[in-house]
């Protein structure tokens, strides 16, 4: 089975008769192969004769090709139109056919397994060529005066190779230089799946940043160039003459045709490896995340805050803050003074502020003659917390109350004000989203209002005409409600079915009977005049005090089943007598005598003697069968009664039940709501009280973004103190986030009320602060469940008044509601250039000595994943980001479900210390790419570290062959890497390379960089 995860490179590949080329032709345009034949025949005069024949057969060469099918190209790097290609990478083109670059080469490979391709990839800047304008030529062409912009023609063998997705040599097999052992394995891999092999052309040119380029696939031999220009391809001194170089007597020497072209532009930065190496771990400046706020002179009429040691300054926070473990002792002491400024609570400033906030309510409740309201600062969260007054003795508690903390602490009141400003700035956008979500709720509310009217009208009729007389005459109530009995269910069956199965039956409630017994009918009026009006008729029938008719008796003279059986009992058959009068068992018929001439006789006449030893006639058999069936009917009737016994129905209770089932308070809401489409989250509250839908929109936008757009300093004060090209760590400031979110929801509730949106102002419209798109989906998770899981805060109306700000994290469990998550901060071009980079946290482990003890001087390393853990890594070893944010053009934030203490780990001197966590930045694996590093620091430990200045210092093209300088990998000091070094050290950069070795060295493997949290926070 082919291993798709392994790449193999071959220096060249040929198929068919081209492999028979043994020498390059001299003075010809085509290569040829010799074909020898021996002709045999019968000679004249007898015998045989043989004639050897030799012919040189010419093969197609570059001069015979004047086009290239674009479908043979499967990929170009970079893609056409790209504007930010890494300048340290090499452009290339891939072909589906593995042998295409060497198919028409008119020469064999040399002794070093080098074979020049007949195609070449040339990359030219915008100002290095001129478009050809002449017509009538087979191929388009361009004019290049300086061929120094072309790669060296005699080194093109190094820039074409075969790529195979799979291993080509067995573990115990040594590949020979002539590839005789490689090709059978190649045919096996590619033969199983042709898509596992391709050919590739590279351009070894060193590109300049921020420059436009054009890539051309050109003929590499002069015969191909001349054929593409419409000239004689034979007018050359040799078939292997290159298409460019310093040659004389050439026609149109500056014209170069091409088969295919595309255009791209390089960016201003390097590749992933270069950018990630620029990032330096740094500890954040303590001033990041806080800004001084002067509170000495607040609003007129409010006292200033003059606490000793604070100098009238409080610290306004942001969405993030420096972890406390990063602060020294003096910084922690100063932070504690600022935190406890209002102890003892309440501070005089807070008392005065509470009075100012409630001034409007006090004024409205008074007897002031002026009806104009007093505008006062808002009481944030008043509708969600159902709090009408601040600092009341009846409050659950004065301290530890999030409403007091939010409204009376300037630090959090300002944060809520930021939320108010954001809603005011974007109110039209948010209201448009709110109206779009409400859908048909307005039409539903209209139907609900009409339903409420119908309920009241029908309820009045129900109470006056039905409920009022249920005690006086419940039967009359059942008669009135009879038309709906088939549609109301009681005790698992409809009321109509229950009555029909009872002693009441169907008759008393039929339409005819209802007309006869209605109060104004002729019969009822006549009975009323006689003083005997019909009352409680249904109750009397139900209790068997009245019947609809007398019991039925058969008229005299009509024979019955007993009369038929009696003649048999007059004779000497005791069994028949018992059958007719006593047990009446069907099996007694078998005891009757049998008679072949069985006949029937009238009652009273003599019956023939029956012989029990004979067989009954056909008539007798049918007669006895009838007797048996009749006896069975008599027996069943005797056991069950002449008529099935009907249950006794409590008419009074049934009438009350029927009234309850048709109560308009039940039926009208059910009918109205069944015809409405109401969002799931609104249906319970609507169905319970049958009131208009009090809808509230849910806006799932990450609300950090409008705050940062307003000013990045509002999102994170002193953001500019984070240095460029740095990786750092902060932690969330949950109290600031919750105060800001309350401000958003409070102002949105006011705006919805102003716009006459059907809401009760208690909805949580905004619950998402961070961007949650970094979280992986959960299998089989519904859309509603995912939306709820990604929320950052709990619904505001669920916040207990006895809780404090910062304890309402929706992702936190009950045991850690007040904890803050660590946030990885990356400032640089890395994520701007590579936004799809994979970033995650992976558990660290200690390096240990030979005796198993922790080596405190050695760097920690990544905890390995077992093969069974790799498909689904456990959270104890690997965690993906919970949320993210992006501020400014180059600063990214990624939050993890870790605390700063968890991430940093413990001191190795402690017993069984925790090693902490690494933060891993990993280049997303993709298609193969080739190139060199921009620069290298340290030794050349792996080929992926090879830089441009190592092999091409100041050169426009990478030199290979005799001009290449030799470079070896540095011998590692780690014994675990020594085996790999022994394998790779023979693959050195030098004059004796072939194309497969060049591809192997220049292949750029995906980069992974791991930074331990201790470098960002200080080791524990």
pLDDT at 262: 96
Cα distances from 301 to residues 190, 304, 774, in angstroms, run 86, 9, 48
Query: Do 257 and 270 form a contact (C-beta atoms < 8 A)?
Result: no
Place of tokens 């045999």: 40
User: Rounded to whole angstroms, how far apart are CA atoms 281 and 1013?
Assistant: 9
Q: Calculate the average pLDDT of the chain.
A: 82
Higher pLDDT: 615 or 338? It is 338
Per residue in 772-823, pLDDT (tens digit) is: 998 888 888 888 888 888 999 999 988 988 889 999 998 876 555 567 899 9
Lowest average pLDDT, out of 458-472, 566-580, 702-716, 725-739, goes to 566-580
Per residue in 429-485, pLDDT (tens digit) is: 999 988 887 766 667 777 777 888 888 888 888 888 777 777 777 777 777 778 888
Per residue in 183-210, pLDDT (tens digit) is: 677 888 888 888 889 999 999 999 999 9
Query: Do 107 and 288 form a contact (C-beta atoms < 8 A)?
Result: no
- Stretch 620-638: mean pLDDT: 71
pTM of the model as a whole: 0.72
User: Rounded to whole angstroms, how far apart are CA atoms 667 and 91?
Assistant: 75
pLDDT at 936: 85
* Whether residue 326 has pLDDT greater than 90: no
* Whether residue 635 has pLDDT greater than 70: no
Query: Between the ranges 130-144, 574-588, 593-607, where is the mean pLDDT highest?
Result: 130-144
Q: What is the DSSP string of 464-482?
A: IIIGGGTTT-HHHHHHHTG
Place of tokens 């800047």: 125
Q: Decide: residue 798, CB within 10 A, 0-12 exposed, 13-18 middle, 19+ buried.
A: exposed
pLDDT at 897: 92
- Stretch 734-745: mean pLDDT: 96
Tally Cβ neighbours within 10 Å of residue 13: 25
Give the pLDDT band of residue 709 (cuts 50, 70, 90).
Answer: very high
Cα of 608 vs its chain's centroid, Å: 96
- Stretch 899-919: mean pLDDT: 91
Helical H runs in 426-569? Answer: 427-438, 441-461, 474-480, 495-500, 511-517, 522-529, 537-542, 561-569
* Whether residue 224 has pLDDT greater than 90: yes
Cα distances from 591 to residues 279, 572, 608, 631, in angstroms, run 111, 12, 17, 14
- Stretch 291-310: mean pLDDT: 88
pLDDT at 1003: 94
Place of tokens 């059907």: 758
**Over pLDDT 90: what percentage of the chain?**
35
The three-state secondary structure class of 948 is helix
Query: Do 824 and 919 form a contact (C-beta atoms < 8 A)?
Result: yes
* Whether residue 400 has pLDDT greater than 80: no
Higher pLDDT: 781 or 508? It is 781
Give the pLDDT band of residue 579 (cuts 50, 70, 90).
Answer: very low
> Strands 320-321, 130-131: parallel, antiparallel or unpaired by DSSP?
unpaired
* Whether residue 662 has pLDDT greater than 60: yes
Give the pLDDT band of residue 593 (cuts 50, 70, 90).
Answer: low
Cα distances from 1011 to residues 149, 511, 723, 847, in angstroms, run 42, 89, 17, 16
Q: Which two tokens stand for residue 328?
A: 């020294």
Which one, of 18, 212, 65, lies nearest residue 128 by Cα?
Answer: 212
Q: Which two tokens stand for residue 417?
A: 């004000």
* Whether residue 689 has pLDDT greater than 70: no
Q: What is the largest CA-CA distance in the chain?
A: 155
User: Rounded to whole angstroms, how far apart are CA atoms 746 and 764?
Assistant: 9
Higher pLDDT: 679 or 426? It is 426
User: Rounded to whole angstroms, how far apart are CA atoms 927 and 924?
Assistant: 10
- Stretch 279-287: mean pLDDT: 92
Which one, of 344, 361, 106, 132, lies nearest residue 234 by Cα?
Answer: 106
């Amino acid at each position: 089975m082919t291993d798709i995860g392994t790449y193999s490179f071959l220096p060249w590949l040929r198929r068919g008769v081209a492999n028979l080329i043994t020498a390059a032709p001299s003075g010809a345009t085509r290569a040829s192969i010799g074909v020898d034949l021996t002709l045999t025949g019968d000679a004249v005069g007898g015998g045989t004769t043989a004639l050897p024949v030799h012919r040189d057969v010419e093969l197609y060469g570059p001069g015979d090709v004047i086009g290239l099918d674009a479908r043979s190209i499967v990929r170009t790097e970079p893609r056409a139109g790209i504007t930010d290609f890494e300048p340290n990478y090499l452009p290339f083109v891939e072909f589906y056919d593995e042998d295409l670059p060497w198919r028409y080469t008119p020469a064999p490979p040399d002794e070093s397994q080098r074979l020049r391709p007949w195609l070449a990839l040339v990359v030219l800047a915008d100002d290095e060529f001129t478009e050809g304008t002449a017509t009538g030529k087979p191929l388009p062409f361009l004019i290049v005066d300086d061929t120094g912009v072309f790669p060296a023609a005699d080194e093109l063998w190094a820039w074409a190779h075969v790529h195979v997705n799979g291993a080509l040599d067995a573990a115990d097999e040594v590949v020979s230089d002539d590839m005789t052992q490689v090709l059978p394995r190649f045919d096996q891999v590619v033969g199983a799946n042709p898509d596992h092999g391709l050919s590739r052309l590279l351009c070894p040119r060193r590109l300049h940043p921020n420059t436009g380029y054009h890539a051309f696939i050109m003929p590499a031999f002069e015969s191909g160039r001349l054929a593409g220009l419409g000239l004689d391809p034979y007018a050359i001194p040799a078939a292997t003459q290159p298409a460019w170089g310093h040659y004389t007597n050439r026609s149109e020497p500056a014209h170069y045709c091409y088969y295919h072209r595309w255009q791209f532009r390089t960016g201003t930065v390097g590749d992933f490896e270069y950018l990630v190496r620029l990032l330096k771990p740094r500890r954040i400046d303590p001033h990041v995340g806080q800004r001084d706020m002067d509170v000495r002179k607040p609003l007129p009429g409010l006292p200033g805050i003059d606490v000793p040691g604070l100098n009238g300054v409080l610290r306004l926070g942001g969405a993030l803050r420096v972890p406390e473990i990063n602060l020294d002792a003096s910084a922690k002491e100063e932070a504690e003074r600022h935190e406890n400024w209002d102890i003892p609570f309440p501070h005089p400033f807070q008392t005065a502020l509470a009075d100012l906030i409630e001034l409007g309510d006090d004024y409205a409740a008074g007897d002031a003659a002026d009806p104009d309201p007093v505008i006062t600062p808002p009481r944030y969260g008043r509708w969600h917390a159902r709090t009408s007054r601040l600092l009341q003795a009846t409050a659950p508690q004065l301290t530890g109350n999030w409403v007091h903390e939010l409204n009376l602490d300037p630090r959090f009141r300002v944060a809520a004000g930021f939320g108010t400003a954001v809603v005011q700035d974007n109110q039209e956008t948010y209201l448009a989203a709110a109206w779009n979500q409400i859908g048909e709720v307005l039409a539903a509310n209209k139907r609900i209002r009409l339903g409420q009217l119908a309920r009241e009208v029908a309820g009045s009729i129900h109470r006056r005409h039905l409920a009022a007389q249920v005690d006086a005459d419940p039967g009359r109530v059942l008669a009135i409600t009879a038309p709906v009995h088939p549609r109301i269910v009681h005790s698992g069956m409809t009321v109509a079915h229950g009555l029909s199965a009872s002693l009441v039956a169907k008759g008393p409630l039929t339409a005819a009977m209802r007309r006869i017994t209605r109060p104004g009918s002729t019969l009822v009026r006549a009975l009323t005049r006689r003083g005997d009006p019909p009352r409680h008729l249904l109750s009397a029938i139900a209790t068997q005090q009245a019947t609809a008719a007398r019991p039925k008796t058969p008229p005299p003279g009509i024979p019955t089943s007993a009369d038929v059986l009696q003649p048999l009992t007059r004779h000497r058959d005791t069994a028949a007598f018992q059958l007719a009068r006593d047990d009446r068992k069907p099996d007694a018929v078998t005891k009757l005598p049998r008679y072949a001439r069985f006949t029937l006789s009238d009652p009273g006449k003599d019956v023939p003697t029956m012989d029990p030893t004979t067989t009954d006639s056909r008539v007798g058999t049918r007669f006895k069968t009838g007797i048996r069936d009749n006896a069975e009917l008599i027996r069943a009737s005797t056991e069950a009664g002449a008529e099935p016994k009907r249950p006794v129905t409590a008419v009074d209770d049934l009438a009350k039940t029927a009234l309850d089932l048709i109560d308009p308070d039940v039926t009208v809401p059910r009918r109205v709501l069944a015809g409405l489409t109401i969002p799931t989250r609104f249906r319970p509250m609507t169905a319970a009280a049958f009131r208009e839908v009090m809808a509230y929109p849910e806006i799932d936008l990450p609300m950090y973004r409008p705050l940062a757009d307003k000013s990045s300093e509002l999102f994170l004060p002193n953001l500019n103190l984070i240095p460029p090209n740095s990786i750092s760590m902060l932690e969330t400031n949950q109290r600031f986030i919750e105060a800001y979110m309350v401000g958003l929801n409070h102002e949105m509730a006011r705006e919805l009320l102003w716009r006459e949106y059907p809401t009760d102002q208690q909805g949580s419209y905004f619950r998402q602060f961070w961007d949650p798109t970094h979280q992986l989906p959960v299998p089989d998770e519904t859309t509603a469940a995912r939306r709820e899981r990604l929320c950052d805060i709990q619904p505001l109306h669920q916040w207990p008044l006895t809780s404090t700000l910062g304890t309402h994290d929706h992702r936190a469990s009950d045991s850690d509601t007040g904890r803050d998550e660590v946030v990885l901060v990356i400032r640089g071009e890395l994520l701007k250039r590579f936004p799809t980079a994979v970033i995650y946290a992976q558990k660290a482990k200690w390096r240990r000595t030979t005796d198993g003890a922790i080596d405190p001087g050695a760097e920690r390393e990544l905890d390995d994943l077992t093969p069974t853990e790799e498909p689904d890594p456990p959270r104890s070893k690997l965690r993906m980001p919970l949320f993210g944010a992006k501020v400014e053009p180059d600063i990214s934030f990624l939050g993890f479900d870790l605390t700063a203490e968890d991430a940093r780990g413990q001191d190795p001197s402690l017993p069984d210390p925790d090693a902490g966590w690494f933060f891993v930045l990993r280049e997303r694996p993709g298609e193969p790419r080739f190139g060199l590093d921009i620069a290298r620091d340290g030794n050349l430990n792996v080929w992926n570290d090879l830089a441009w200045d190592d092999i091409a210092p100041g050169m426009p093209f990478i030199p290979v062959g005799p001009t290449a300088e030799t470079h070896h990998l540095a011998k590692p000091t780690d014994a675990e890497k020594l085996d790999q070094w022994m394998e790779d050290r023979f693959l050195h950069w030098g004059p004796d390379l072939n194309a497969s070795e060049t591809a192997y060295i220049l292949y750029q493997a995906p980069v992974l960089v791991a930074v331990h949290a201790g470098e960002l926070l200080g080791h524990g």
